[in-house]
Structure 1
């Protein structure tokens, strides 16, 4: 009992330390940096990390499994598997569709996966890394998502799956794309890394596809430092994902668990002898992409705050949208019809006919300590990494090129106050008025 009491006292000191050292600093326009993204970490988050460290929970264990269960419940899905990053989550989700356990439905080298050209590399990289062929489609400027019609036009005889992201928290038309996938017997993977807590037609994004992914990098809606997750309502796919994440082993017992299935030494697989230890039978070529209990503990502390974080993101986005309305030369973002985005950022496209360039505007904002980011890679096919990869383009990529040349975004994360957002609005207006 003394140990427990000592721990409680120590954790209270940790909370006190946080309160004393994490006080908000006064916002000084032009001096205080307004970053495009930022994690919101409070005293409970700090205490959760310290408590887990005190217990020496240094690998994936109880905390991680509790977070996985809580996350699955939050999205109304059957299984969530935590990973060491959102990028790893995307790799696992796509690789799961190549598993021999899917038999005739498995994706094979040369099969096609429809994706968008304007996005982040880790949505596309797993397609290439698995020997599959990405089929690139264009997006709409304004929502920055693709359309059902573009995807339908891209379907060919070797198309087997669709893997696309909800752009900066703005949902793509998920109901319609999921129906299209079902009609053509295609898998659908939702990259939900930028859109946790967003909704389309009243339903949470990340619940429409066969698989969905989340990132917990500090820029995202929740953070575990590094980290990510793969979610699904399909138990067969969940089992494949778990095996691939955990070295490709066939056993489902957690590390440290022995004979949970009561037949650990009663398996016979491949040409192994009967009774070979099931903990060391490997039925897939997998990875080690597990997270740690430190990350799981932070996830458990962060998850109850998701709704508050989402409200702050929506509020900041709406304030920017109203404040920047009507500025000549700028194309402002629009939510997808029927959606309620939990925004990742506020996207601005400088119209080609504007009397200033994106570089001039972002340079001015950066000089005011207002952080800017490009819309990730823009047109991926214009990057050196993708020169010469096997691929197909369906239709043109005109808007993807517009994004590459003219688009950027600024932050809406919960650390930004109304005063900060107003300073961002005033800065954009000052620049555009002077140049107009």
Structure 2
């Protein structure tokens, strides 16, 4: 039987080699995506191998990935889930657990965040009956500041939840110190920033909890998938319960009696000896991933350093190539940081002789993919109009981002020729419009 297996897997490698499209770049024809998965024959083989074993639920690959990923990101525990959005939902929901006693977040408590971001950083706040407090960000870094966060903290503020924008760390050490000073929880949305460093320390290691996404646009992919990480074992236990239907039992799937007292519990008003596998201590979900996803995650994880370096190299090429282009605000790394970049943000100055829309149309017509800086100012979207929230200060820069900002790709699938073409295209457009204005 093992011979058949080896034959199949070797055939998969050959299939990949024979069918993988060529890498020749043809300007204006080859599409330059802003993001995407970078997959090789090891990834394809890993998926087929997991399929041959019929590992259709969470199992050994999931546990191996959790252990490896936690070590790589220097956290004690990692819990694999079905998406980065679910990871954020679990991270916030964990802070509402009765097991936290007096520190638990209750409906009406506030969570400081930013207005210019992705909805799933904010949605779990609302979904748990909490109140988001929106702060503005800086142009260039696209992150908020410790000063803005400090001003946003009020009597009912109990937590801070912020994403590292496009892989660029916010001043997380200072904001973690603020959280500690005020007795607040800190959640780092690290979905766009795996491998980023702030003052030499990995992002995702400053907060009580951090989250990661494995959607194809991100640093590692499982197709779908995400992760919640923490070094707080009490929080880890809560996250696991919430992920796994809210059950109190901590047996792995297929295990029956890890605690050796499965029929000895009495909890709630249940009868003595009720089966611990069916005692529920949280109102939870089923947000687990599968071994098929984890198998892909393991082969991707082996290439993480390669991916991070490619993203940094591509960002540097764009930054150097576009330096000095009139009326464009170029991105900059937060001071004392070394980002693992997700994208390259460009903001057209409001008084420029051309518009963001015109530049985006020009690039898209040339096959150069662009994306908005996510939601821009979230408070202006239909979903959030009428929801309970508070705005700290003004959202001037978030509004500028809404009108004038977009980003282009730096992901590892982009080569030097492609980025040279992007640079030349931006410069050509700006030069033509600047001449016309004069």
Q: Which TM-score band (shorter chain)?
A: over 0.9
Q: Give the one of 76, 83, 89 matched to 2:74.
A: 76
What is the DSSP-based 3-state SS (H/G/I as helix, E as strand, rest coil) of the residue aligned with 1:223? coil
1:431 and 2:424 aligned: no
1:421 and 2:382 aligned: no
Deviating beyond 4 angstroms after TM superposition, the runs of 4 or more aligned structure 1 residues are none
1:300 and 2:291 aligned: no
Where do 1:400-411 residues align within 5 Å? 400-411=398-409
1:138 and 2:139 aligned: no
Aligned position for 1:318: 316
Aligned position for 1:219: 217
What is the DSSP-based 3-state SS (H/G/I as helix, E as strand, rest coil) of the residue aligned with 1:135? strand
1:277 and 2:271 aligned: no
Aligned position for 1:122: 120
Aligned position for 1:369: 367
Aligned position for 2:202: 204
Residue 6 of structure 1: CA displacement?
A: 1.8
Q: Give the one of 25, 28, 35 matched to 2:26.
A: 28
Structure 2 alignment gaps of length 5 or more: none
Residue 26 of structure 1: CA displacement?
A: 1.7
Aligned position for 1:191: 189
Aligned position for 1:173: 171
Aligned position for 1:412: 410
Aligned position for 2:61: 63
What is the DSSP-based 3-state SS (H/G/I as helix, E as strand, rest coil) of the residue aligned with 1:346? strand
2:70 and 2:393 mapped to 1: Cα distance? 37
Aligned position for 2:325: 327
Q: Give the one of 335, 338, 354 matched to 2:336.
A: 338
Residue 260 of structure 1: CA displacement?
A: 1.4
Aligned position for 2:378: 380
Aligned position for 1:54: 52
Q: Give the one of 69, 83, 88 matched to 2:86.
A: 88
Deviations along 1:224-280, one digit per CA (max 9) or x if unpaired, are: 000000000000000000000000000000121111111111111011111110000
Superposition TM-score, scaled by structure 1 size = 0.99
1:275 and 1:417 mapped to 2: Cα distance? 62
Q: Give the one of 124, 143, 147 matched to 1:149.
A: 147
Say how many residue pairs are matched: 434
1:23 and 1:117 mapped to 2: Cα distance? 40
Deviations along 1:365-406, one digit per CA (max 9) or x if unpaired, are: 000000000000000000000011101100000000000000
Aligned position for 2:347: 349
Aligned position for 1:159: 157
1:258 and 2:227 aligned: no
What is the DSSP-based 3-state SS (H/G/I as helix, E as strand, rest coil) of the residue aligned with 2:345? strand
Residue 5 of structure 1: CA displacement?
A: 2.3
Deviations along 1:318-346, one digit per CA (max 9) or x if unpaired, are: 00000000010100000000000010000
1:243 and 1:202 mapped to 2: Cα distance? 33
2:272 and 2:181 mapped to 1: Cα distance? 43
2:310 and 2:147 mapped to 1: Cα distance? 33
Deviations along 1:170-215, one digit per CA (max 9) or x if unpaired, are: 0000111101100100000000000001100001111110000000
2:379 and 2:240 mapped to 1: Cα distance? 32
Aligned position for 1:38: 36
1:307 and 1:63 mapped to 2: Cα distance? 21
Where do 1:1-12 residues align within 5 Å? 3-12=1-10
1:109 and 2:146 aligned: no
Residue 16 of structure 1: CA displacement?
A: 1.0
Residue 24 of structure 1: CA displacement?
A: 2.3
1:23 and 1:369 mapped to 2: Cα distance? 18
Residue 12 of structure 1: CA displacement?
A: 1.1
Q: Give the one of 11, 15, 18 matched to 2:16.
A: 18
1:102 and 1:12 mapped to 2: Cα distance? 51
Residue 418 of structure 1: CA displacement?
A: 0.2
Superposition TM-score, scaled by structure 2 size = 0.99
What is the DSSP-based 3-state SS (H/G/I as helix, E as strand, rest coil) of the residue aligned with 1:41? coil
Aligned position for 2:357: 359
